[in-house]
Amino acid sequence: MKPAPFDWYGPTTTAEAVDCLAKAGSDGKVLAGGQSLIPMLAMRLAEPKALVDLNAVRELSYIRSGEDGVRVGALTRHAELERHADTQRLVPIVGQGLRNVAHATIRNRGTTVGSIAHADPSGEMTSVLALTGGHVVVQSAQGSRTVGWDDFFVGALESCLQPGELAVEAFFPAMTAKSGSAYVELSRRHGDYAMCGVGAIVEVDESRVTSAKVSFISVTETPIVIDLTDAWNEGAEAAAQVARESIDPVGDIHASAEYRTHLAGVLAVQAIGEAIKHAKERAA
């Protein structure tokens, strides 16, 4: 199938992009990397009357790092962020999550902010934003607002963005010096969306785990962050059980709800184990 007809707008500044979106109102959609939107248009799962293409808005392609964390502009591709040295140092969970996003070719084009705006329950970067306690900066003709991760995701494929609003930046707070992280998942084929994925950030103080938090994909509608510190210190099976009890997945042709629940327990334990190892490596 081919997309339904639409008007195309090619702004070159953020202000122009916001202006185009304001004019388009509820008929408009942002086009970023197009890795999710173009297939949806081709299958006519979305039929916007106007597309506001961000690809010439160069000022939205940036990664700004400071000791407080990393700010990522709306035109920054997954691949650029994945290879960014300061991001690997300050918030390693970002690169660990990104390496699980699709294939390299898709990461070359897809944007991290677009992935968050898309709010796919299987999108790794939604869970990474949650796990780090990040936020999204949103701009519209009315001004700008900052939305914490826990208010940003409203439902499956649904964010809090209103017609006319552009997500201009995602912020990932820096991880502490005592922390480590890992992202593990299982998919049917390499590069496919995961049947279940788990990101973990832990803090280790002289071999004692003082914090162990996880976030899931493909088993919750919107990202959640679960504190498994006490359960982990009781033992791996206790942590797995709390992980399983924290989610309520639905089954589909790729995996039953029972199997996804089982995976959440296994992968949570694996992710925490790897994150502890990572914390010790970072501290050494």
Ligand X SMILES: Cc1cc2nc3c(=O)[nH]c(=O)nc-3n(C[C@H](O)[C@H](O)[C@H](O)COP(=O)(O)OP(=O)(O)OC[C@H]3O[C@@H](n4cnc5c(N)ncnc54)[C@H](O)[C@@H]3O)c2cc1C
Query: Which spans of this chain sit near ligand X (rule: CB under 6 A)?
Result: 29-37, 39, 74, 101-102, 106, 110-111, 113-115, 117-118, 120, 122-125, 161, 166-167, 193
CA 80/CA 221 separation, integer angstroms: 28
Nearer to ligand X, 30 or 276 (CB): 30
The minimum distance between CB 274 and ligand X, in angstroms, equals 19
Nearer to ligand X, 60 or 269 (CB): 60
Place of tokens 């990664």: 63
Sign of CA dihedral 259, 97, 54, 2: negative
Nearer to ligand X, 92 or 110 (CB): 110
The minimum distance between CB 29 and ligand X, in angstroms, equals 4
The minimum distance between CB 180 and ligand X, in angstroms, equals 23
Q: Which residue has its beta carbon closest to ligand X? A: 110
Nearer to ligand X, 44 or 280 (CB): 44
Instruction: Say what angle helices 257-283 and 236-245 make with each other, to 10 degrees.
Output: 130
- List residues bridging with 69 in a β-sheet: 66, 173
Q: Side-chain half-sphere of 141: how many Cα atoms within 13 Å?
A: 10
Other beta carbons within 10 Å of 188:
10
Nearer to ligand X, 119 or 239 (CB): 119
> Which residues make Cβ contacts (< 8 Å) with residue 46, sequence separation at least 6?
29, 37, 40
The minimum distance between CB 38 and ligand X, in angstroms, equals 6
Nearer to ligand X, 37 or 90 (CB): 37
Q: Is 159 in a helix, a strand, or coil?
A: strand
Nearer to ligand X, 199 or 212 (CB): 199
Other beta carbons within 10 Å of 160:
15
Other beta carbons within 10 Å of 235:
11
The minimum distance between CB 83 and ligand X, in angstroms, equals 16
Q: Output the CA–CA distances (angstroms, integers) from residue 209 to 42, 156, 241, 248, 250, in the order listed.
A: 48, 33, 18, 27, 32
The minimum distance between CB 92 and ligand X, in angstroms, equals 18
Nearer to ligand X, 94 or 228 (CB): 94
The minimum distance between CB 161 and ligand X, in angstroms, equals 5
Q: Side-chain half-sphere of 270: how many Cα atoms within 13 Å?
A: 14
Other beta carbons within 10 Å of 237:
11
- List residues bridging with 183 in a β-sheet: 199
The minimum distance between CB 194 and ligand X, in angstroms, equals 7
